[in-house]
Structure 1
């Protein structure tokens, strides 16, 4: 599913959404965790690279740090990884996701973690998103993969941020303003009654801004 979405975007579509379950961003090259077995976002990013994009960015907006995605690309300069997430000192995966993890070797400077405290509201979260998008632009990304977790919602039972359903429209708009061909890959979201609303709001905001 992720490969197909990325292939559509590589073929000229402005954006595509891979409705993937289980999520993938906790899966590394040689480990799995957090319900994740295949890293869908990494598959999408590599598909875009294979199709000719010189530099790809992965933007992870799930509440939990995408430790698998970070591990896969940590020593690579061709895939810039940016992640907004709950502080790993208090939230899964605990051992990765700190701000001083910036990449290694050729990948030094191409990993950007923005950990945020429990109780973070949308204004603070959106400011961090702006920082992440600035870093993606500075890295020269030609295409974008969004690890779209909506467990940042205030009613999510396994998370601690305070975003409301209407905020997800703004998230979609902000991502669209990056002006990049974009693959959305679905990650977490466990407030069952609202998960579909929040995911669709991101896509609707993106579509309206990109039009």
Structure 2
């Protein structure tokens, strides 16, 4: 399988995230990069597709904010990463938000996703990795892997959160449609619901979205991903903490069968290895040996498929988990 990665994606280096009333070491750190690259072997440098595919998904206002936020943070006399602290209860679009603090709150939904000096650069090249892997699949490859880092599936059209800044799966899906694919399916198998992806395509039928994830009454992102939270073409299958492969597999079969009903021509998989039993921030109980059968189930759908990387924070096992999943294709 061809794999795409750009070293500029290392530039995103958050020192900490804020939750439970305190700063904690960032879970989405550079150690994930080394673990995955050591396991997957050679990678290809992505081609620069420019801003147009990003603008097809994200608002121009948001992209400009993301590119300039850290510079504005430093210009305001702040040190380190830029963190939001004030959020509108009802999201609005004020005519003028002069302070960087206000703009951070306007475009964020949590305090765990800071913007660093090179966050924009890393996110931009992560999106280019997804687009280049898409090129490979549209060019005839059966499967391709985009090592997208930072992750993307929590990012909406004009907001960040969940360690996500640009929605790589959505960017690839929109680019595929622009290239002539008539129907795209997105299968999200990260531990957490892909709320940003669902939001972006909520009123669409040309992109069908199915997500298998932790019960949002107990786990992040809480406000999205309930079983009755569906758009024009979205399916949410929340599962309880402690879910093993024996309980997970029937949900996967259901999601695949539901997606096949849309007669998709391309499958995009948002893969998160945070379903692993020892993941430090998640609570499913899948084992490394389960990821190849998971991928074989997905591959049996018989579609060209693009795999984009989302979460997974048990660094010692992360490389093996990613390699096992890719082996199933």
Q: 1:57-136 maps to which residues of 2 (within 5 A)?
A: 57-103=185-231, 107=232, 110-136=233-259
Matched, 1:52 2:175: no
- C-alpha displacement at 1:193, in angstroms? 0.7
Structure 1 contact 29–68 (Cα < 8 Å) conserved: yes
Paired with 1:121 and 1:160, the residues of 2 have a C-alpha distance of 10
Paired with 1:175 and 1:202, the residues of 2 have a C-alpha distance of 10
1:57 counterpart SS class: strand
- C-alpha displacement at 1:73, in angstroms? 0.4
1:151 counterpart SS class: helix
Aligned counterpart in structure 1 of residue 281 of structure 2, from 148, 158, 174: 158
How many residues are aligned here? 201
Post-superposition Cα deviations, 1:132-163, rounded to whole Å, max 9, x if no partner, equal 00011011111000001010000100101010
Structure of higher RCO (CA pairs closer than 8 Å, 6+ residues apart): 1
- C-alpha displacement at 1:199, in angstroms? 0.8
Structure 1 contact 54–78 (Cα < 8 Å) conserved: yes
Post-superposition Cα deviations, 1:167-198, rounded to whole Å, max 9, x if no partner, equal 00101111110000000000000000111111
Report the TM-score when normalising by structure 2: 0.61
Matched, 1:11 2:139: yes
Paired with 2:304 and 2:282, the residues of 1 have a C-alpha distance of 29
Paired with 1:47 and 1:201, the residues of 2 have a C-alpha distance of 28
Aligned to 1:179: 302
Aligned to 1:205: 328
Paired with 1:89 and 1:2, the residues of 2 have a C-alpha distance of 31
Structure 1 contact 7–47 (Cα < 8 Å) conserved: no
- C-alpha displacement at 1:102, in angstroms? 1.9
Structure 1 contact 24–38 (Cα < 8 Å) conserved: yes
Bigger-Rg structure (1/2)? 2
Aligned counterpart in structure 2 of residue 168 of structure 1, from 288, 291, 310: 291
Paired with 1:197 and 1:74, the residues of 2 have a C-alpha distance of 34
Paired with 1:87 and 1:141, the residues of 2 have a C-alpha distance of 27
Unpaired runs of 5+ in structure 1? 207-211
User: What RMSD, in angstroms, separates the aligned Cα atoms of the two structures?
Assistant: 0.7
Report the TM-score when normalising by structure 1: 0.94
